[in-house]
Structure 1
Amino acid sequence: MKIAILYFSKTGKTERTAKVIEEGINKVEGIEVKAMNLDKVDYEFLDESKAVIFGTPTYYANMTWQMKKWIDESRNCNLEGKLGAVFATAQYIGGGANVAMTTMINHFMVKGMLMYSGGSALGQPYIHLGHVSIGDGNEKEDEVARVFGERIGKKAKELFE
């Protein structure tokens, strides 16, 4: 089974978080995962993926224009029925990451994705809308990102195997 992580990263912070989430997915046996910046998407891999995780830096309390442009122009990319999840990076708490993630969730639901976060039902750490990494990140946040990735991997296997 394949899982794709698509993100936009200009400074490397969102890419770093994508790689940490990838580490969490790799804890789940039988999954091939690929993290890709939006300018280097492997559309064949994306098409074959059962789950897709999208990541964005938070700019002006929202996703980047590059992510919105990709969403708008991805008409030929069938996301319907795939498990979806989101994450965001922000410079500080209260920087709008929740708004950015909610906006992405709305767009991907319109595209027919089954959105999932791992939620609070699985206990600590509680991951409400998706993972948020603040500033340059730290080991505590990285561990939550790994848990987030692992939860997405396990849910994808539960749903699609």
Structure 2
Amino acid sequence: MAKALIVYATRTGETEKIGNLIAEGIRFSGHEAELLKVTDIKKGEDLKGYDAVILGSPTYHGEMVQGMKTLLFMAEKAELEGKVGGAFGSFGWSGEAPDRIFETMKNIFKMNMVSIPLRLKSANLGGGMKMAQDYGREISEKL
């Protein structure tokens, strides 16, 4: 059984909801999923020991929140190359944060990324619950 870590930053709780649904999708597929708030990660080594790392942040004023930016700098030393990765986030207007996280994980960390980042306005709108669970299943297929 593979083990995935989902780390999220949130302002309103929406990104946390999405992270929980991704974790469900991973668990439905028979793997372990641990969900942590970005402030629970104190150093890059906290990301070690997982087969997959999935990072999520809301987009706020066209950017990811500061806690996720800090985590990405710490993650550079976490030896994530080749591990399965995914990125997700919620947004009100533009939704750039998941794309920036995804590109960093793919091009800087050299992770084995799922097809695309998951961008949702809300887990409760337009099939968001199923989309987030399916994203977890897609991650599981790469494990």
Shorter-chain TM range is 0.7 to 0.9
Quick one: structure 1 residues 142 and 3, their matched pair in 2 at CA, closer, same or farther if it must change by over 3 Å? Answer: same
Segments of structure 2 that go 5 or more residues without pairing to the other structure are none
Segments of structure 1 that go 5 or more residues without pairing to the other structure are 118-128, 157-161
- Matching of residue 100 in structure 1 with residue 97 in structure 2: yes
Following the alignment from structure 1 to structure 2, what is the Cα–Cα distance between the partners of residues 41 and 86? Answer: 17
Aligned residues: 140
C-alpha contact (below 8 Å) 2:98/2:119 kept by paired residues: no
Shift of 1:11: 2.0
TM-score of the aligned structures, taking structure 1 as reference length: 0.78
- Matching of residue 70 in structure 1 with residue 67 in structure 2: no
Q: Which amino acid in the other structure matches residue 153 of structure 1?
A: S
Following the alignment from structure 2 to structure 1, what is the Cα–Cα distance between the partners of residues 122 and 32? Answer: 29
C-alpha contact (below 8 Å) 1:89/1:134 kept by paired residues: yes
Following the alignment from structure 2 to structure 1, what is the Cα–Cα distance between the partners of residues 123 and 33? Answer: 24
Residue 26 of structure 1 aligns to a residue whose secondary structure is helix
Could you say what the CA RMSD is over the residues aligned between the two structures, in angstroms? Answer: 2.0
Other-structure match for 2:36: 36
Shift of 1:141: 0.8
User: Could you say which structure has the larger radius of gyration?
Assistant: 1
1:77-133: CA deviation from partner (whole Å, max 9, x where unpaired)? 221111111111012xxx221x3222112211201212213xxxxxxxxxxx22222
Following the alignment from structure 1 to structure 2, what is the Cα–Cα distance between the partners of residues 11 and 102? Answer: 20
Shift of 1:135: 4.0
Shift of 1:36: 0.7
Q: Which moved more, 1:34-43 or 1:100-109?
A: 34-43
Following the alignment from structure 2 to structure 1, what is the Cα–Cα distance between the partners of residues 5 and 51? Answer: 8
Following the alignment from structure 1 to structure 2, what is the Cα–Cα distance between the partners of residues 60 and 45? Answer: 29
C-alpha contact (below 8 Å) 1:4/1:45 kept by paired residues: no
Other-structure match for 2:114: 116
C-alpha contact (below 8 Å) 2:114/2:138 kept by paired residues: no
1:48-94: CA deviation from partner (whole Å, max 9, x where unpaired)? 11111111101122211211111113343221111111111012xxx
Following the alignment from structure 1 to structure 2, what is the Cα–Cα distance between the partners of residues 27 and 61? Answer: 33
Shift of 1:44: 6.6
C-alpha contact (below 8 Å) 1:25/1:153 kept by paired residues: yes
